[in-house]
Structure 1
């Protein structure tokens, strides 16, 4: 009859000498990931060094003809809308900004 210690000590994982590719393959993958990480960090640092220290203040362009145009209040209940200043859609916002 087997005791608990003999059952726990028994090697049920097969022969560990054959098919020993897992260790070298794991090492190769770790080295590959470490190399890729180092190269990505170097690339990111080079790109960050090329950025200016300060960006210029972004102000919207001023157009004197549009600055004096009256904009209707959409909450006043009349539903009136000033057609001279149409609101840009999503595509125009990205293109203009």
Structure 2
């Protein structure tokens, strides 16, 4: 029968030779991720260099009155809701979202 000292003395910490692939596989994954990061950064920098220094204005800046007039009701008045209604409960949010 095993005693408590024998159970605690067993080597179960992975320094046996059965799992010898973890180190090289981890190194490989780190190198792949580092290479992908470098390539993505280079691609992003080249795309940013191609952008113009300034973008042309689309038109005169809209005043707040004009901005409100440009908003269109997506429901076209079919569903009218009171904005002072209570917030949806958690169950309603899960059902809708």
Mapped to 2, the partners of 1:12 and 1:21 lie a distance apart of 17
What per-residue deviation string (whole Å, max 9, x for no partner) do you get for residues 17-74 of structure 1?
12311110010001000000000000000000000010001128xxxxxxxxxxxxxx
RMSD (Å) for aligned C-alpha atoms: 2.8
Larger RCO, structure (CA 8 Å, separation 6 or more): 1
Mapped to 2, the partners of 1:25 and 1:49 lie a distance apart of 36
Mapped to 2, the partners of 1:50 and 1:12 lie a distance apart of 56
Mapped to 2, the partners of 1:15 and 1:57 lie a distance apart of 65
SS in 1 for 2:31: helix
Alpha-carbon spacing, 1:56–1:15, altered in 2? closer, same or farther (3 Å): closer
What are the within-5 Å matches in structure 2 for residues 15-54 of structure 1? 16-54=16-54
Name the residue aligned to 2:65.
none
More helix by share: 2
What are the within-5 Å matches in structure 2 for residues 1-97 of structure 1? 1-3=3-5, 7=8, 9-13=9-13, 16-59=16-59
Mapped to 1, the partners of 2:47 and 2:14 lie a distance apart of 51
Structure 1 stretches (4+) deviating beyond 4 angstroms? none
Q: If the length of structure 1 is used for normalisation, what is the TM-score?
A: 0.50
SS in 2 for 1:18: helix
Alpha-carbon spacing, 1:50–1:19, altered in 2? closer, same or farther (3 Å): same
